[in-house]
Chain A
Amino acid sequence: MSESRSEIPRRKNKRREEGERREPSESKLILDIENLKGEFSKTTDRLIKDLRRHDKIMARTDRDQMRELKKLELRLEEVESLQESQKKLLDSFIKLIASAIDAKSKYTGGHCKRVPELSLMMADAASTATNGIFESFSIDTEDQKRELSIAAWLHDCGKVTTPEYVVDKATKLETIYNRIHEIRTRFEVIHRDLTIEALNKKLNGNDTKEVDIWLEEEHKKLIKEFEIVAHANVGAEFMKEDAKDIIKNIAARTWTRNFNDTIGLAHEEKQRVLKENSITPQVENLLSNKIRHIIPREYFDYEEYERMGFKTKVPEHLYNLGELYNICTSVGTLSYEERFKIQEHVQMTIIMLEKLPFPEYLKNVPLFAGAHHETLIGTGYPRELTVDDMPIASRIMAIADVFEALTASDRPYKEPKTLSASIKILSFMVKDQHLDSDIFKLFLSSGIYKIYANKYLKPEQIDEVNIEQYLK
């Protein structure tokens, strides 16, 4: 042991000696460790410093985030309130346009206001229903409702471009004024001409009594003829061919014009009378179709018309104010040209609405609004759509449009129809596939017709409706 004990220091000494010379690893190790210890403590210090900085940065970032969040929240509130007021502004604009149309003509009354209400009621019911075509139809979100509502509010916005004389044309001879008065004056002229002719006959020695009888008969005949023309002018009945022939015979009567009818005219009308014979005295027909009656169609963009997908045939002339032509209108008071002008309001609605930069959620407004005069079988206008291309929203609006028009009590050209009569007419239109059968049935089964009637129809219009017969 002692040996070994004594050996250890010896060896140790030896090692140290050797180490100093040949084995520096021992002290280097210590040095390294000491270095490492120093490095380690430096590194630890650095790490601690770094961690503290990290904590500071984190804490500061958290505060920043909170400040940003609060700022964002404030800004969001601001944006939301701005959006809300913009929505209100847009709504007011829409209502402004709609009421301008309603106010423009007493012939549309409160139509633009009532159609959206009726449409939304029906859309709600359609959304709840799950049968047939309603399976895939839903209108749940506020945005969808807004889309339909705006489309319904603006469905007739194109009417701002329709001349008032066409919208309000209540008699066949009406232009800006009812020309029946002008024609009646011609009857008066002929009436006097007959009286003069009778007096002449008497002067020439004809039998006074016979002449008086002749005159009385001629006057009676003439008055009868005026009544026929006046009656036709109202356009209350369908005009058959034989009725037209009678009118044509009456029109062939003549009177003598002694005055120049090409003076006192505005530039535009003057252009139209240039081609007419202005020599006087001139024998004129009682009712005539003249060159001056043709208002040419100018500046019509047929390419654009096609591009928009409009199919309705465009009449050659803008208007034909021919007296005989207008009085021989078969149905109603509007000529072919005027009927087109009226129908053109939907094209205008589409053109106007397609120009508006609607946001994504309102992108269907022009489509919905522009299809309310289409039918299910391609006989509507302006695109002659068929059932597959006609959105349900438009089919709803189509029924709302017709029903409102039938039941409205604020139109001067017609008596309001009773509830049952209006529904009967709707049922005929459904039969002809002009209106959608499913929506019509829903309109009845949901009781919407009744709710609407109680709100907007006069008590005397509201009668019992046997809806069962239509629901089969």
Chain B
Amino acid sequence: MENLTIEATKYTPVINLDINGTISMVGKSYPENTFEFYEPLMQWVEKYFKSSAQDVTTINLEITYFNSSSSKLFFDFFDLLEENNNENTIEINWIFDEENESAQEAGEDFIEDFEDLDITLVTK
């Protein structure tokens, strides 16, 4: 299994998937076709937990602006993390600028929905 990097574009974030146990996404998320765009990420993460998950997996998410289908996708993403939460230690940091109310509210929604996941809200 290999690392995967998806470069940022004007409307999509940079995504770094590292087999050493760090997953990060930074930027905006307005893909034209959200589910298609995130398909490689989902597949990679699924495979990662099946085959080569580290003891601790750290996930840093710093998405400044995102459309509603991205919101939906993040729920799916957290579902996937939750499925693997029992056998793995997963730490999630939801990072946002303190003036970004929208990102803060999204983070709060995730915490509410995924009680078992270790989600930390980190303000910049």
Residues of A whose CB lies within 8 Å of any CB of B are 49, 52-54, 56-58, 60-61, 63-64, 67
Contacts and interface: CB of A to CB of B under 8 A. Distances in A.
10 contacts: A56-B109, A56-B113, A57-B72, A57-B75, A58-B68, A60-B105, A60-B109, A61-B68, A61-B71, A63-B101
Contacts of A58: 68
Contact of A64 (B72, B75, B102, B113): B102
Contacts, number: 27
A457 to B, nearest CB: 64
6 smallest CB-CB distances across A and B, nearest first, come from A57-B71, A61-B68, A64-B102, A57-B68, A56-B109, A53-B75
Contacts of A56: 109, 113
B106 interface: yes
A67 B68 contact: no
A67 B71 CA distance: 17
A64 B68 CA distance: 10
Contacts of A63: 101-102, 105
Q: Counting chain B CB atoms within 10 Å of each CB, which of A49, A58, A60, A63 scores highest?
A: A60
A78 B75 CA distance: 37
A49 B78 CA distance: 13
Q: Counting chain A CB atoms within 10 Å of each CB, which of B71, B72, B105 scores highest?
A: B71
Contacts of B106: 60
A67 B101 CA distance: 9
Contacts of B113: 49, 52-53, 56
Nearest to B66: A64
Interface string B80-124: 000000000000000000000110011001000100000000000
A223 to B, nearest CB: 89
Contacts of A57: 68, 71-72, 75
B50 to A, nearest CB: 22
B72 A67 contact: no
Contacts of A60: 68, 71, 102, 105-106, 109
Contacts of B109: 56, 60
Q: Counting chain B CB atoms within 10 Å of each CB, which of A49, A57, A58, A63 scores highest?
A: A57
